[in-house]
Amino acid sequence: MSDLRGIYALWYREFKVFQREKSRIVASIINPVLWLLIIGGGLGSVLSFGGVNYLSFLYPGILVQSVLFSAVFFGVYIVWDKKIDFLKEVLVSPMSRTSIFIGKVLGGCTDTLLQSAILLVIGYVFTVTGVLTGITFSPVSVVISCVFLFITTVGLVSIGLIIGSQMESPEGFQLISSFLIFPMFFLSGALFPIENLPSWLTPFVLLNPATYTVDGLRGTLVGLHRFNLGFDLLIISVFSVVMILIGTYAFKKMKL
Amino acid sequence: MIVVWYGVTVEDTSIIDTKKLTKTYGDLTAVDNLDIQIEKGEVFGLLGPNGAGKSTTLLMLTTLIPPTSGTALVNDFDIIRQPDQVRKSIGIVFQDPSSDEMLTGYENLKLHGLLYDMDSALREKRIVEVLALVELTDRKDDLVKKYSGGMRRRLELARGLMHHPEILFLDEPTLGLDPQTREHIWKYIKKLATEKKITIILTTHYMDEADRLCDRLAIIDHGKIVVLGSPDLLKKDLGGDVIHMRTRNFDIESLKELDYVKNVKTDDGSISVTVKDANQHLQDLLGRVGKVESVEVRPLTLEDVFIHHTGRAIREGAAEGGWAEKAMQARLRK
């Protein structure tokens, strides 16, 4: 496939830029750690679910939160590329639109997953130092967690790129993606268990792909889960494949 | 392309051939049944005010937007049916900045080489070659955000050439640049045209730029060609010189009847007369007009050609937002 170098090119660009923007990396790490320590610590003093303290219950949810926000917001860079003519430079190259989309997805996944990796390390350090209790950090649990995070990230980056490909302004992107990200976060079970919710909320929770990532990660790391892990994995895989297909189509139809 | 015409084989040397190329946006016709043939090796200009349809034409020829109707052959490939082949054979420098300022000059070029599927040996060779051409070799490892507007433009020019395109498109190559830098960019464009024999198609709304660079140009207004030809011919067609006089007493009608007068225009208290040759006719003309407060004689410019054909001056445009302004916006990214 002659587009392999081009796909590498797009990934290379995102990676270089990511490396040079230290403030972006720092902010993307500090934010979830603050959530974990303040919300987790604060509510943890009065709450525990399923026999684990709230901080540990929250940790997998915070991993999903970080993935959700950075993966979807990655799509805003395509709006910036559109505002200058960088996007045209890529679109006028011999690469196919499908390959351009794949290159962008890989770039976004790298950024997002590097942040997840740092959060996993922080989680491990917290466990060793006793801040977090009841979390299983073993080679197997880390590998399974990474699989969940990777598949989810692919789908979420695709969503960001789909929105970005249709938007003219970064403000518009911010608005639309917020409408999506916040409900997805709050209705994913990241902050509270989904077993005994009011019946009108349940369908939204079950339709939310992030629910299955939270469930899978919490099952893997804390041992608390509602669905079978294989089922979780299946749902998020289907979600990501569908998003890739829609994203490829959106890139083909993208107007300048 | 070889065309057989009445049994005689004629070589058709046109490298771009548009066929009723049209683009409409709702009620607005941006490009209206455009038919242009551009010859291999020439520097061809699309000259016109902002919004005349120049950039839209370029975006269609480079396959970035589809035409509403009509088509074009670029390098003998059809822009609608063979967009991939078209894209492989062209290079383009866009109107707005199109390099990533968080990358170095070298990295931007490497990115381009990868996008065009060059292996590392070829890539490195070409990067050295194009950097030398635009004299940026010693700045190649600086981030593009540290470049001046002119350097960035030169980098993008270098990038557009890196894959050795048959045709290079330049969309407003010197928009928003200061006079010295424009001069510098023009020098490179001239060099490319004479040394590398690349066909260059540029859009501009600067008359002097079109005059300096183009072998032929088409003046475009409201999506249509108003007039097409070499700058010299276009000027010669209208006459040779413009004599501008400040005076109160004149009789336009009698001036218009003189055989050496091509055109007469009046403006509050002044009169502009286009004549074949000012050296020969100035004395006679002054004799007829009578007392004048001041006289100014200048050779005809493309601006006069434009005004003659469209009936108005070209809008010197900040309307679209200058290149430098966009660069500033882009800097606010992240």
Contact at 8 Å (CB) between B227 and B305? yes
Q: What is the pLDDT of residue B12?
A: 66
**Are B262 and B219 in the same domain?**
no
A96: left (phi over 0), alpha (psi -120 to 50) or beta: beta
Residues B291 and B170 in one domain: no
* Separation CA B327–CA A39 (nearest Å): 41
> Taking the model in full, what pTM does it have?
0.85
A84 has a chain B CB within 8 A of its CB:
yes
Same domain, B229 and B122: yes
Which CATH number characterizes residue B166's domain? 3.40.50.300
Q: Which residue of B has its CA nearest to A76?
A: B334
Is residue B140 domain-shared with residue B259, that is, in the same domain? no
Number of domains in chain B: 2
Tokens 């079109």 belong to which residue?
B210
**Final residue belonging to a domain, choices B217, B234, B251:** B234
Whether residue B276 lies inside any domain: the answer is yes
pLDDT value for B259 = 81
Q: Rounded to an integer, what distance in angstroms lies between the CA atom of residue A44 and that of residue A134?
A: 14
Q: Is residue B205 part of a domain?
A: yes
Of B140, B135, B133, B138, nearest in space to B104 by CA: B140
pLDDT, one tens digit per residue, over A41-94 is 888 888 888 788 898 999 999 999 999 999 999 999 999 999 888 999 999 999
Q: What's the pLDDT score for residue B9?
A: 52
Q: Kindly state whether residues B114 and B86 are assigned to the same domain.
A: yes
Specify the pLDDT at position B319: 43
The answer to whether residues A55 and A36 touch, using CB atoms and an 8 Å cutoff, is yes
**Residues B126 and B162 sit within 8 Å (Cβ to Cβ):** yes
B311, part of any domain: no
Which of A74, A84, A256 to substitute to test the interface with B, most B CBs within 10 Å?
Answer: A84
CA distance A90 to B111: 10
Shared domain check, B94 and B146: yes
The pLDDT of residue B326 is 56
- Whether residue B176 lies inside any domain: the answer is yes
Q: Which residues in chain B show pLDDT less than 50?
A: 1, 317-321, 333-334
- Looking at the fold, whether B38 and B171 belong to one and the same domain comes out as yes
Phi, psi of B177 (to 5 degrees): -95, 155
Is the domain of B227 the same as that of B281?
no
**What pLDDT sits at residue A134?**
85
Task: Tell me whether B288 touches chain A (CB under 8 Å).
Answer: no
Helix (H, G, I), strand (E, B) or coil at A220: helix
- Domain containing B267 equals 240-299
* Residues of chain A with C-beta less than 8 angstroms from the C-beta of B75: none
Number of Cβ within 10 Å of residue B145's Cβ equals: 15
Strand ranges (DSSP E) for chain A? Answer: 48-49, 52-53
Q: Is B106 domain-assigned?
A: yes
Q: How far is B95 from chain A (nearest CA, A)?
A: 8
pLDDT at B247: 82
Classify residue B196: in a domain, yes or no. yes
Alpha-carbon dihedral B202, B208, B214, B218, rounded to 10 degrees: 70
User: CB–CB of B102 and A17 under 8 A?
Assistant: yes
Among chain A residues, the shortest Cα distance to B332 is held by: A80
Which parts of chain A sit beneath pLDDT 50? Answer: none
Domain count along chain A: 1
| Inter-chain touch B117–A13, beta carbons under 8 Å | no
CATH number of the domain bearing residue B290 = 3.30.70.920
Residues B160 and B25 reside in one and the same domain: yes
Q: Are residues B226 and B104 in the same domain?
A: yes
Compute the count of residue pairs across chains A and B with CB atoms less than 8 Å apart: 90
* Side-chain half-sphere CA neighbours of B214 within 13 A: 31
The answer to whether residue B323 sits within a structural domain is: no
* Domain-located, residue B321: no
Range of the domain at A214: 4-253
**What are residue B288's phi and psi, to 5 degrees?**
-80, -35
- The first and second tokens of residue B223, run together, are 């999506």
Give residue-wise pLDDT tens across range B7-32: 555 556 789 999 999 999 988 999 99
Q: Does A94 touch chain B (CB under 8 A)?
A: yes
Say if the Cβ atoms of B330 and A83 lie within 8 Å: yes
Residue B221 shares a structural domain with residue B119 = yes
Do B154 and B94 share a domain, yes or no? yes
Do the chains contact at A256 and B107, CB–CB below 8 Å? no
ipTM comes to 0.88
| Residue B320: per-residue pLDDT | 46
